């Protein structure tokens, strides 16, 4: 969703701000803006639409300021427009603010400020921040007091950067429930909502915790929740620049699909080996705890939830412990039955998804043990969970998740094997699955290498309006994920159905020429799904089949045979490619699909 960049430097900052915003484009946005302090004034430039629109109104030669803040906005309160774009400023032009998050009591604050004679020019919740700062500044005559009093009044979530000519050479920073990192780097001090925006300048980051503040000037001064000065240690993030480059690929999504074997290998490195039981860093579960465990919940959103479904399949098959998989936004309102004998696993690539974090907080209140599975170091979810397991997929930039999904599935399967090993159950199955997991990257490369064939198949489907994906068991979960990928980036409607359910209603929609994608990798259910495919074929459907069986027909995508517990890791790859090629064929922006944001920080 929204992105933030701030720079304090000895040289001009406009280019750096825009470059930082471009790195954050993947988060999804609909307007962009910058504010620069120069010659004792704040200059704000902003516009609706892409960063290119903003750049078109920037004259870099005249923007000589060495302190600035910048923002990409994903509309929540107020339509996407120039007026609603950040930065926002008070009428007296004392305070310019960029903000991620939501000020929940903004209407009440706005009402109060209007009664005090202040006026507003946008529909946003954010605008109350600079106006409130001006109100308190007029009362106290002190910027830091005004900052403190303003933060005291705000309810909700925020990552905030403020610049003011009243404290030149300074950016004021505050964080609550929305990520913010700072770094001291080449020729400047940097602040951003996400590491990629500033990784070019430093690898050592300060991660602000909730309610912490900072003042960036010649150095960074940190303040704790009581506004007392405090020290913070930096943490090194070892990402190379090419991790956030397209590296010769046309799109990030294509690059990330190709990176999947490496992402899985990195995720399981040090965890899975043939001669040792599985072990995790800073995480273990006792045999006595696992024996008492009544149930497991896996809670997540979107693709991460689909990874959770594959996790359910694995844990139930390997450990014989019942698993419920819930969409986070539903779980929260279902009054779930949890206690200390419930293990709750929360999966989130970004670690910032508001619904998943709220669900996690609820599980903790109800005394369940909580484990976060995330790809982003120090993300918000890691601070809420009892334990964190990291996927090491590297930064995922494309909005449509691919390598994070594969890594989540791999990690949850490893967790299932771990629990089974602790329980001394199914030793032979565990051993053979570990072997399979270690062989997977090579098999994935084999599947990836057939991508030209997937492109040919995709070409046949480009003009479709409605598609079906069907499968059973884990193949159904792959169908759900394949269908989501298609919807997200190609804007083609599709439905994923459990193959056996088709005849209970949706088969009525099958007509001559309807495409049905069948996934058939589980030998136990393959005959049944193949029969369901025959049923739709008899009604005129065009079948695309993804299978590890020896079937010789047109439009069959063969993938290598592997245990059905982990077959989704192979079966999803052709479906990712098909979605990608269809979107490309339609001339769409695959990395930044309309209306979507990479990290969904609103509920």
Q: Which stretch binds ligand F6R (CB under 6 A): 171-179, 204-212, 240-248, 301-309?
A: 301-309
DSSP H or E run through 230: strand 229-230
- Choose, by CB under 6 A, the member of 127, 488, 522, 591 that binds ligand F6R: 488
Q: Is residue 492 part of the contact set for ligand F6R (CB under 6 A)?
A: no
Tell me which DSSP letter residue 280 carries. B
Asked whether the bond before 488 is cis by omega within 30 degrees of 0, the reply is no
- Choose, by CB under 6 A, the member of 43, 84, 342, 350 that binds ligand F6R: 350
Q: Is residue 177 part of the contact set for ligand F6R (CB under 6 A)?
A: no
Q: Is residue 319 annotated as part of the catalytic site, yes or no? A: no
Minimum Å distance from CB 602 to ligand F6R? 11
How do beta strands 3-8 and 188-192 pair? antiparallel
Measured at CB, which residue is nearest to ligand F6R? 302
Q: Is residue 598 annotated as part of the catalytic site, yes or no? A: yes
Q: Is residue 496 part of the contact set for ligand F6R (CB under 6 A)?
A: no
- Choose, by CB under 6 A, the member of 260, 266, 267, 401 that binds ligand F6R: 401
Residue number, 75 or 600, with CB nearest to ligand F6R: 600
User: Which residues lie closer than 8 Å to 59 by C-beta, 6 or more apart?
Assistant: none
User: Which residues lie closer than 8 Å to 126 by C-beta, 6 or more apart?
Assistant: 77, 86, 88, 97, 98, 99, 103, 106
Residue number, 222 or 469, with CB nearest to ligand F6R: 469
Q: Is residue 388 part of the contact set for ligand F6R (CB under 6 A)?
A: no
Q: Is residue 301 part of the contact set for ligand F6R (CB under 6 A)?
A: yes
Q: Hey, what are 242's tokens?
A: 């090419």
Q: Hey, what are 127's tokens?
A: 């605008």
Q: Is residue 542 part of the contact set for ligand F6R (CB under 6 A)?
A: no
DSSP H or E run through 44: strand 41-48
- Choose, by CB under 6 A, the member of 17, 362, 545, 600 that binds ligand F6R: 600
Q: Hey, what are 1's tokens?
A: 């969703």
CB-based contact 171:67 (threshold 8 Å): yes
Minimum Å distance from CB 382 to ligand F6R? 13
Q: Is residue 192 part of the contact set for ligand F6R (CB under 6 A)?
A: no
- Angstrom distance (rounded) from CA 472 to CA 467: 17
Q: Which stretch binds ligand F6R (CB under 6 A): 4-12, 170-178, 346-354, 503-511?
A: 346-354
Q: Is residue 412 part of the contact set for ligand F6R (CB under 6 A)?
A: no
**Residue 583, Cα to own-chain centre: how many angstroms?**
21
- Angstrom distance (rounded) from CA 189 to CA 219: 7
Cα–Cα distances (Å) from 342 to 131, 133, 177, 337, 538, in that order, read: 47, 46, 26, 9, 47
Q: Which of 110, 403, 592, 598 is catalytic?
A: 598
Residue number, 124 or 356, with CB nearest to ligand F6R: 356
- Angstrom distance (rounded) from CA 347 to CA 325: 11
Q: Provide the mask over 351-380, with x wherever binding to ligand F6R is found by CB under 6 A and - wherever it is not.
A: --x--x------------------------
Q: Is residue 525 part of the contact set for ligand F6R (CB under 6 A)?
A: no
List residues bridging with 469 in a β-sheet. 496, 517
Q: Hey, what are 209's tokens?
A: 């915790």
Residues designated as active site: 2, 598
Residues lying near ligand F6R in the complex (CB under 6 A) are found at 301-304, 348-350, 353, 356, 400-401, 484, 488, 599-600
């Amino acid at each position: 969703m929204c992105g933030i960049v701030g720079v304090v430097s000895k040289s001009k900052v406009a280019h750096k701000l825009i470059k930082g915003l471009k790195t954050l484009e993947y988060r999804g946005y609909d307007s962009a803006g910058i504010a620069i302090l120069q010659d004792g004034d704040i200059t704000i430039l902003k516009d609706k639409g892409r960063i290119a629109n903003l750049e078109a109104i920037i004259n870099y030669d005249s923007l000589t300021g060495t302190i600035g803040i910048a923002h990409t906005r994903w509309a929540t309160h107020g339509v996407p427009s120039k007026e609603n774009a950040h930065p926002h400023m008070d009428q007296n032009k004392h305070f310019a603010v960029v903000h991620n998050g939501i000020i929940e009591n903004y209407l009440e604050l706005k009402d109060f400020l209007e009664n005090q004679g202040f006026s507003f020019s946008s529909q946003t919740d954010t605008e109350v921040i600079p106006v409130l700062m001006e109100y308190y500044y007029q009362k106290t005559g002190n910027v830091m007091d005004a900052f403190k009093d303003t933060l005291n009044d705000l309810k909700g979530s925020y990552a905030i950067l403020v610049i003011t000519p009243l404290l030149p050479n300074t950016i004021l920073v505050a964080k609550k429930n929305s990520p913010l990192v700072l770094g001291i780097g080449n020729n400047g001090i940097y602040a951003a909502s996400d590491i990629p925006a500033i990784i070019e300048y430093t690898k050592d980051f300060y991660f602000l915790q909730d309610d912490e503040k900072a003042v960036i000037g010649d150095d960074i001064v940190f303040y704790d929740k009581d506004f007392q000065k405090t020290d913070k240690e930096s943490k090194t993030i070892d990402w190379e620049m090419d991790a956030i480059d397209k590296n010769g690929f046309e799109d990030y999504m294509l690059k990330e699909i190709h990176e999947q074997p490496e992402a899985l290998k990195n995720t399981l490195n040090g965890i899975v080996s043939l001669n040792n039981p599985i072990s995790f860093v800073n995480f273990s579960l006792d045999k006595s705890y696992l024996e008492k465990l009544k149930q497991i919940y896996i809670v997540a959103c979107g693709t991460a939830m689909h990874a959770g479904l594959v996790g359910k399949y694995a844990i139930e098959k390997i450990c014989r412990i019942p698993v419920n998989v819930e969409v986070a936004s539903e779980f929260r309102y279902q009054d779930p039955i949890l206690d200390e004998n419930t293990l709750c696993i929360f999966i989130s690539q970004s670690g910032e998804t508001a619904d998943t974090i709220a669900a996690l907080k609820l599980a903790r209140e109800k005394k369940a043990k909580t484990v976060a599975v995330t790809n982003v170091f120090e993300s918000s979810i890691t601070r809420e969970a009892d334990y964190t397991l990291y996927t090491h997929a590297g930064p995922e930039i494309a909005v449509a998740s691919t390598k994070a999904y594969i890594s989540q599935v791999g990690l949850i399967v490893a967790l299932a094997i771990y629990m089974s090993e602790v329980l001394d159950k199914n030793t032979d199955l565990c051993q053979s699955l570990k072997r399979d997991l270690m062989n997977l990257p090579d098999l994935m490369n084999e599947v990836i290498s057939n991508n030209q064939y997937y492109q040919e198949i995709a070409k046949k489907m480009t003009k479709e309006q409605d598609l079906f994906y069907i499968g059973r068991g884990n193949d159904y979960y792959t169908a759900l994920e394949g269908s989501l990928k298609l919807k997200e980036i190609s804007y083609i409607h599709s439905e994923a159905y459990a193959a056996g359910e088709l005849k209970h209603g949706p088969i009525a929609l099958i007509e001559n020429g309807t495409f049905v994608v069948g996934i058939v990798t589980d030998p136990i259910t393959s005959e049944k799904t193949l029969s369901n495919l025959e049923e739709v074929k008899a009604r005129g459907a065009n079948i695309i089949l993804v299978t590890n069986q020896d079937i010789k027909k047109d439009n069959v995508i063969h993938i290598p045979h592997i245990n059905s517990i982990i077959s989704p890791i192979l079966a999803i790859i052709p479906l990712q490619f098909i979605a990608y090629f269809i979107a490309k064929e339609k001339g769409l922006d695959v990395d930044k699909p309309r209306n979507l944001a990479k990290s969904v920080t609103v509920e």
